[in-house]
């Protein structure tokens, strides 16, 4: 899970993506090198709801800084 989060943070830093919550973010490099969006959602995050919750926490941390 940490690998995916780090890849999302890298992508955010590179492009200043505003919405990390969209599933489409999982299709972009470097995240897509970890696995398909369905693999990441189901195997790494144990479901879409967990993914959404973790990403919301991550966004809160980013915007609080």
Query: Rg of the chain's alpha carbons, rounded to an integer?
Result: 11
| 19-35 pLDDT tens trace | 777 788 899 888 999 99
pLDDT above 70: residue 18: no
**pLDDT of 51:** 93
| Percent above pLDDT 90 for the chain | 51
Query: pTM for the complete prediction?
Result: 0.79
Q: Is 7 exposed, middle or buried (0-12, 13-18, 19+ CB in 10 A)?
A: buried
56 Cβ contact partners less than 8 Å away, ≥ 6 residues apart: 21
**pLDDT of 42:** 96
Q: Mean per-residue pLDDT for 33-50?
A: 96
Rounded Cα gap, residues 65 and 42, in angstroms? 30
Rounded Cα gap, residues 26 and 36, in angstroms? 7
């Amino acid at each position: 899970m940490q690998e995916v989060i780090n890849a999302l943070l890298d992508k955010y830093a590179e492009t200043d993506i505003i919405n990390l919550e969209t599933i489409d973010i999982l299709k972009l490099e470097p995240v897509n090198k970890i696995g398909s969006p369905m693999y990441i959602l189901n195997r790494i995050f144990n479901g879409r709801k967990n993914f959404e919750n973790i990403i919301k926490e991550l966004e809160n941390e980013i915007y609080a800084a």
